Structure 1
Amino acid sequence: MPEFSKPSMPGAALFESLPGGDDPAERSAAGHRIANLLVRGAHDPQDQVFVDRVLHLADAEGLGVIAELWSQAPAQTVSGALWRLYVLRTWVYRNPLQAAREFAAGKAYAPVQEVLAGVVDPPGPDEVITLVDTVVRGILAPDFDIALDRAAAFAHIVGVGRSQSEDGDPASAARLMDTARQLRAAAEAERRGDLH
């Protein structure tokens, strides 16, 4: 995705709040735990305290601090799916005009995906941002698979639009299509009960 730079590494505040601190395996395990708690919810008071600390950190430092923990996760895991949602949302916020333009260009080639994505016609920057926010808000709902499907449809359409554009970048269009496939596979795994 052009003009997208990887978020900065999590700050010391996050690592101080996690057992194991700077150990990469501990960070990965913490990221996995956070992702599952955010999607599945807390089931005991100790988990709720942890979720509250995570959400406070996200409010104070930004979601990128937490999302970085998910950056190395396999695509068909909860944390890997959340990383892909985070990257897609960050790109749309940084480039809403480009996202709207590429979505508009791609929807003619992917009408079924357009229905799944759910962007109003014509899609302007505000509509694209609203879609992405709606998808991300869906991660806390029991229909996480639907949120993943919608994000996959959006990434697919934008990837097609980018590939059709005269100044489009074929490599980044292909990466968007890969992201769409990964999100779709994660949604299918979620429906089977295999997304962990």
Structure 2
Amino acid sequence: MQQSGREFHKPVRRAGEELDRLFGAHDPAEATRVAHSTATALLSRVRADPESEIVDRLVDFTRTHGIDDIAELWSRSPARSLPGALWNLYLLQLMIHRDPDTAALLYERGRVEITSVDPVIAGAPVPSGPDELVATVDRILRGVFDGDFAVALERAAAFSRVQASGATHVADDYEGTEPERATTLTTRAARLATIASDLTAAAALWRMDALS
């Protein structure tokens, strides 16, 4: 599943070399253990005492530091695990922050075209411009740390499905005139749909106390 987010983040500085140095490239099980233990410790610590300042820093982490440090630990994890779910959430946030204009275009198109209740679940204002979409994705991520974790995952999944719908329909618009752009958007839609599916599954696992 890791490849589903490649479009949305800048190259990882060390491409996992730090983990390989610490635990050895021959021991992926140890790297996986560290990814799961850090994700669990982070979530448990903050949710037990969700101080506003700490949550603010976590929500703002990728804007300040990029996603490289998180990728070092979490990007190799299965998508339907706790570190994998957190990784997908940060990827989604980074996608919106890096290009809010395109994200807003796709979201609004998806909101108009989609027939499900996903726009309501996602909770973005109607209509949503770039600033509103950035604020929405930040609120969703904040809910991971100071709200119902499963609800935050479900909101993020709905948000992704609306974006995927918009990307699909905009790709159709460009199919005859700009096929390369249409292909890029179609790929983006497929990746967003995969992220949405994985986040939905992660939410169900969390409710069963089986997300680890």
Query: Which category describes the TM-score, using the shorter chain as reference length?
Result: 0.7 to 0.9
**Structure 2 residue aligned with 1:170, among 176, 186, 195?**
186
Identify if the C-alpha distance between structure 1 residues 133 and 71 changes in structure 2 by more than 3 Å, giving closer, same or farther: same
Does the alignment pair 1:21 with 2:26?
A: no
The 3-state SS of whatever aligns with 1:21 is: helix
Deviations 1:21-43 (A, max 9, x none): 14344333222111111222279
Match of 2:152 in 1: 147
What is the letter of the counterpart of residue 91 of structure 2? Answer: V
Does the alignment pair 1:106 with 2:106?
A: no
Match of 2:209 in 1: 193
Does the alignment pair 1:135 with 2:140?
A: yes
Determine the C-alpha separation between the residues in 1 that align with 2:29 and 2:14. 15
Q: Pairwise mapping of residues 47-58 of structure 1 onto structure 2 (< 5 A)?
A: none
Q: Does structure 2 conserve the Cα–Cα contact (< 8 Å) formed by 1:67 and 1:86? A: no
Deviations 1:106-158 (A, max 9, x none): 01214400000000011011111111111111222351101100100000000
Give the gaps of 5 or more residues in structure 2: 48-57, 175-181
Match of 1:120 in 2: 125
Determine the C-alpha separation between the residues in 2 that align with 1:21 and 1:129. 36
Match of 1:51 in 2: none
What is the letter of the counterpart of residue 194 of structure 1? Answer: A
Determine the C-alpha separation between the residues in 2 that align with 1:68 and 1:138. 24
Identify if the C-alpha distance between structure 1 residues 8 and 124 changes in structure 2 by more than 3 Å, giving closer, same or farther: same
1:93 Cα deviation from its structure 2 partner: 0.7
Q: Does structure 2 conserve the Cα–Cα contact (< 8 Å) formed by 1:39 and 1:144? A: no
1:90 Cα deviation from its structure 2 partner: 0.9
1:75 Cα deviation from its structure 2 partner: 1.4
Match of 1:67 in 2: 71
Output the TM-score relative to the length of structure 1.
Answer: 0.79
Does the alignment pair 1:95 with 2:99?
A: yes
Determine the C-alpha separation between the residues in 1 that align with 2:7 and 2:41. 31
Determine the C-alpha separation between the residues in 1 that align with 2:163 and 2:121. 13
Determine the C-alpha separation between the residues in 2 that align with 1:22 and 1:95. 36
Aligned length: 180
- The percent of aligned pairs where both chains have the same amino acid is 38
